[in-house]
Amino acid sequence: MGSELPVAVSGLPDELTEREQWVCWREEQRDGKATKIPVTPGLGEFASSTDSETWTDFETALNYVDTGSADGIGFVFTDDDPIVGVDLDDCRDPETGDADDATQDIIERLDSYTEVSPSGTGYHVLIKGDLPDGRNRRGSFEFYETARFFTVTGDRIEETPTRVARRQDALAAIHLEYIQDSNDNSESDSDRGERVSEVSEADGPSEVDVDLEDEKLLEKAMNASNGAKFEQLWKGDTGGYESQSEADMALCNLLAFWTGGDHTRMDELFRQSGLLREKWDEVHYADGSTYGEKTIERAVANTSEFYDPEPREESSQDSASTANSSVDTDQNESARSQAYLAEKNRLLAERVEELETRLEWKNERIKELEAEVEQLTAELTERDQATDRTGEEHAVAESPDDEESESGSVWGRTKRLFGKNSE
């Protein structure tokens, strides 16, 4: 058992620990950046925030961390619970514990269980309520209530409640003020129509509005014929790609299709994926564009058609659509098969690495035990030799007396012999 857990168990609310919505996470380096990868407790395989089969109860997740196989635990948000997570990132000084004014305002107004994030540079607030429609992220503040997992530390801020409180009014007000900017003139999700558009190479790509909430859209994307590829990238698995940049573009190509080429929504969704890294917001181009902005722009430009939530029926296109569908299905099945094999190979490689690590540990332990046996054997030999030397010393010490006694006896006989002769 580990000597110290990275989770303060006593600080966690019962509303969380009583639910079987727990995963573990491991920190891995992706292009020089530490990334938290969700894993299934006990198995070590990738956990999915949309697959309850990869979740477990709190104790099982905690015990798996205690074995040293994971770095921490996480809580998965679902449609079946009323819990909303508020992620306040890069707003806390890990040395002094000081936070900026906006962060303090959000924490005080939500007035619910709040803990320090694993990095020590942010906060996680957990409340009960319904997340308002619209975007869920702006800057370093992010709100979510389903299909995501929250790293949990139990390092509660003393001034905050020990329970997960219902704060619907405060949630709505803060979301409007800090996330859904009232000055944003862009069309909101609720105003989007289910407009259908087909894009030709002559006209060039254009955006298509898709009126689907994020969780439903993700569900459709993961259940599509190439869903395995989407889920692999969504989890941050770059297996089968020569670089993460190539994986970034692959995911953005898929997001372009599913979001109708909506740049803003693509950015919001990508930031929820396991591929997100600091490079996404770095300026890489002379026109001031960031790496993420340019990647999205290129993905939309490369997309010739977008997801159609209500496909039109045109008899004149039936035969062509059927042929194209057959080709697409074959290609998608091939891509899905490749993604499955890549995922399987990755899991096998991780298992081999785990077994090699365990074997290495056992070999080290064997060496330690052999060294202990050698030391004990040497001590025992030395003790036996000391015992032998002690016996010899006793024998030497006793031998003069014996010789004296023996010579005394001979001398006595000699004296008696010469005495008789003198007489």
Say if residue 173 is in the same domain as residue 204: no
Looking at residue 24, what is its pLDDT?
96
363 Cβ contact list (under 8 Å, min separation 6): none
pLDDT of residue 346: 61
Q: List Cβ neighbours of 245 (8 Å cut-off, separation of 6 or more).
A: 295
pTM attached to this predicted model: 0.47
Q: What is the pLDDT of residues 138-173, one digit of tens each?
A: 889 999 898 899 999 999 999 999 999 999 999 999
Q: 280-300 pLDDT, tens per residue? A: 988 877 677 888 999 998 888
The contacts of residue 4 (CB under 8 Å, 6+ apart) are none
Q: What is the pLDDT at residue 190?
A: 36
Predicted local confidence at residue 395, as pLDDT: 63
212-271 tens-digit pLDDT: 778 888 988 999 888 999 999 999 998 888 788 889 999 999 999 998 888 888 999 999
Nearest to 22 by CA among 67, 50, 59, 66: 59
Tell me how many domains the chain contains. 2
Do residues 53 and 167 share a domain? yes
Which domain does 229 fall in, by range? 194-312
pLDDT computed for residue 422 by the predictor: 53
Q: What is the pLDDT at residue 198?
A: 35
What is the 8-class DSSP label of residue 156?
B
Residues 67 and 168 in one domain: yes
Residues 286 and 173 in one domain: no
pLDDT at 4: 62
Domain assignment present for residue 175? The answer is yes
The reported pLDDT for the residue numbered 343 is: 57
The whole-number pLDDT of residue 192 equals: 34
144 and 256 part of one domain: no
Same domain, 232 and 161: no
> From residue 236, how far is each of 53, 184, 209, 241, 277 by CA, in Å?
19, 30, 26, 12, 10
28 with 171, same domain: the answer is yes
Residues of the chain with pLDDT under 50: 1-3, 182, 184-207, 312-317, 319-320, 323, 403-407
Q: What is the per-residue pLDDT for 340?
A: 56
